[in-house]
């Protein structure tokens, strides 16, 4: 995608997004790429979005969604690694650490809501926030310690929805509860664990395929996903979709 013109990108993503003016300002969003090693190969968790959705209908995606600023006030067992927090702070603009924390926690919450997977530590947990009641009911305090900031991408203009998405990654070992019925929102169907090469061949959005490529490159020289890695940033600049680094 790096260097593609807006016209070429519109053609490449014609099946990914419904076109429209949409909000002028991209909304903060976060998605979580859960990773699992099996027989030496890395697999990723993906689910299919309902066909009725205007944004990426029928596509396989990672769990994720819009950031709720109120998530920043949810108590955690462990906070972000300092290097990961610093990366999230780069170019985040307003609110600084509070906004970065909300972004990270929204990825954890969305993974529970869409996939029924709770990331954290076993302990008593209480919160008045509706989106976190599953953690309280299952005795899990959310944790951000295992999250790694992998990539950032801003949806180009001309889509019915625009998001400033942070792609985070975590190993499956961070999940302490897997609800058998999946997440309460049921936004994702056909949850599957796919080897990286198969995931890139699935019916996925162009940006998802690009981020999977970034993940493969990162794992090639950093198989443990240590904190503080270089973060690629994709956005439209002067009518071209460019790759920068944070």
Q: What pLDDT, in 10s, does the model give residues 179-193?
A: 988 887 767 778 899
Q: Residue 157: what pLDDT?
A: 80
Q: Is the pLDDT reported for residue 176 higher than 70? A: yes
Mean of pLDDT values over 235-244: 84
Q: Is the pLDDT reported for residue 14 higher than 90? A: no
Pick the CATH number of 19-230 from 3.30.70.141, 3.90.79.10, 3.90.550.10, 3.30.70.60: 3.90.79.10
List the chain domain ranges: 19-230
DSSP 159-221: BSS-EEEEEEEEEGGGEEEE-TT--TT--EEEEEEEEHHHHHHSS--HHHHHHHHHHHHHHHH
Q: Is the dihedral of CA 27, 141, 35, 226 positive or negative?
A: positive
Residue pair 79/218 in contact (Cβ under 8 Å)? The answer is no
The encoded tokens of residue 218 equal 């990162």
pLDDT interval class at 208 (50, 70, 90): very high
Of 2-6, 88-92, 164-168, 197-201, the one with minimum mean pLDDT is 2-6
Q: Residue 15: what pLDDT?
A: 52
Nearest to 115 by CA among 78, 61, 51: 61
Nearest to 64 by CA among 197, 174, 153: 153
Of 20-29, 52-61, 85-94, the one with minimum mean pLDDT is 52-61
- Classified as helix, coil or strand, 135 is helix
């Amino acid at each position: 995608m790096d260097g593609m013109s807006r016209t070429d990108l519109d053609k490449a993503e014609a099946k990914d997004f419904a076109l429209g003016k949409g909000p002028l300002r991209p909304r903060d969003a976060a998605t979580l790429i859960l990773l699992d090693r099996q027989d030496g190969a890395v697999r990723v968790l993906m689910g299919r979005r309902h066909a009725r959705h205007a944004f990426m209908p029928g596509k396989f995606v990672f769990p994720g969604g819009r950031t709720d600023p109120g998530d920043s006030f949810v108590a955690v067992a462990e906070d972000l690694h300092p290097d990961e927090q610093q990366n999230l702070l780069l170019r985040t603009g307003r609110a600084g650490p509070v906004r970065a924390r909300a972004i990270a926690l929204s990825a954890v919450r969305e993974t529970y809501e869409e996939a029924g997977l709770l990331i954290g530590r076993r302990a008593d947990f209480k919160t008045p926030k509706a989106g976190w009641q599953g953690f309280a009911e299952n005795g899990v305090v959310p944790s951000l310690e295992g999250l790694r900031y992998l990539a950032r991408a801003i949806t180009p203009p001309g889509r019915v929805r625009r998001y400033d998405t942070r792609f985070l990654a975590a190993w499956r070992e961070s999940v302490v509860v897997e609800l058998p019925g999946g997440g309460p929102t049921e936004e994702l169907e056909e949850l599957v664990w796919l080897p990286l090469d198969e995931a890139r061949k699935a019916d996925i959005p162009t940006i998802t395929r690009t981020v999977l490529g970034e993940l493969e490159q990162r794992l090639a020289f950093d198989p443990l996903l240590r904190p503080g890695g270089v973060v690629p940033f994709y956005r439209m600049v002067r009518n071209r979709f460019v790759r920068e680094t944070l």
